[in-house]
Amino acid sequence: MPEVKRKYVIPGELITEGNYRIITNVIKRGNKFYSTRIGLAEYGQEGVRVIPLTGPYIPKVDDLVIGKIVDYSAFAWEVDINSCFLAYLPARNVYGKSFSPRQEPLVKKFGIGDLIAAVVTAFDRTRDPILSVSSPGLGKITKGEVVKISPTKVPRLIGKKGSMIKTIESGTGCKLTIGQNGIIVLTGQPEGVIKAVKAIRLVEEEAHLADLTQKIQAMLGVKEGDG
């Protein structure tokens, strides 16, 4: 494994100097690299980046998100995806290309306050994110507990190759649906859900620390390699 150096940084702070490729949340002046965020800076062969510890959710195409219906018109639902951009779920992405507003009012499918799991199918700097619920497992969420964390900490909650999710799921018997936008839905027995929420809160608090998976494994009594 190539050597990666790490350092806690704040905006404007010098990370390193030399010849690196910028990955993300870094600006270059001369041959010096500075952070633009509060977070964990990493630099090595791959390049230099800052993994932020706070910040808004910026949608990316193919992200799984959990959103809340906040309004609808004749052609689309408006979905709050915990971002600075309001997302749209066009009716044709639900009913098919031949959808006509004469068919049925949208509220019959999803009402204001409904939660949905969806995938971002289009988004760029010039237009709002477009969602789809057409793949299996997407659509209205009818049961479970909703938990919110900072979207910047979602990668940590998922873990390397999903190791953290697996640990929490096997340790609590719960199923986790994690939206990239920081919204998580937990389903399972009430005691399991309480344990899982505690584990999620710990991940959130200590996202900047190493050995987090081991810590959660110890907390939930899961042996390495389980799950």
Residues that bind other proteins (CB under 8 A): 6-8, 10-14, 25, 27, 34, 36-38, 40, 52-57, 68, 70-71, 78, 80-87, 111-115, 125-126, 141-146, 150, 152, 205-206, 208-210
Q: Could you tell me the smallest distance in angstroms from the CB atom of residue 103 to other proteins?
A: 23
Which of 171/182 has CB closer to other proteins? 182
Which of 98/142 has CB closer to other proteins? 142
Which of 102/108 has CB closer to other proteins? 108
> Roughly what angle, to the nearest 10 degrees, separates helices 190-205 and 163-172?
150
Tokens of 225: 């390699």
Q: Are 125 and 70 in contact (CB under 8 A)?
A: no
- Residue 196 makes CB contacts below 8 A (sequence gap 6+) with 168, 172, 174, 176, 186, 188
Which of 74/112 has CB closer to other proteins? 112
Q: Are 7 and 49 in contact (CB under 8 A)?
A: no
Which of 139/227 has CB closer to other proteins? 139
Q: Could you tell me the smallest distance in angstroms from the CB atom of residue 105 to other proteins?
A: 17
Q: Are 216 and 162 in contact (CB under 8 A)?
A: no
Q: Could you tell me the smallest distance in angstroms from the CB atom of residue 43 to other proteins?
A: 12
Q: Could you tell me the smallest distance in angstroms from the CB atom of residue 227 to other proteins?
A: 26
Q: Are 198 and 204 in contact (CB under 8 A)?
A: no
Q: Could you tell me the smallest distance in angstroms from the CB atom of residue 169 to other proteins?
A: 20
**Greatest Cα-to-Cα distance within the chain, rounded to the nearest angstrom:** 62
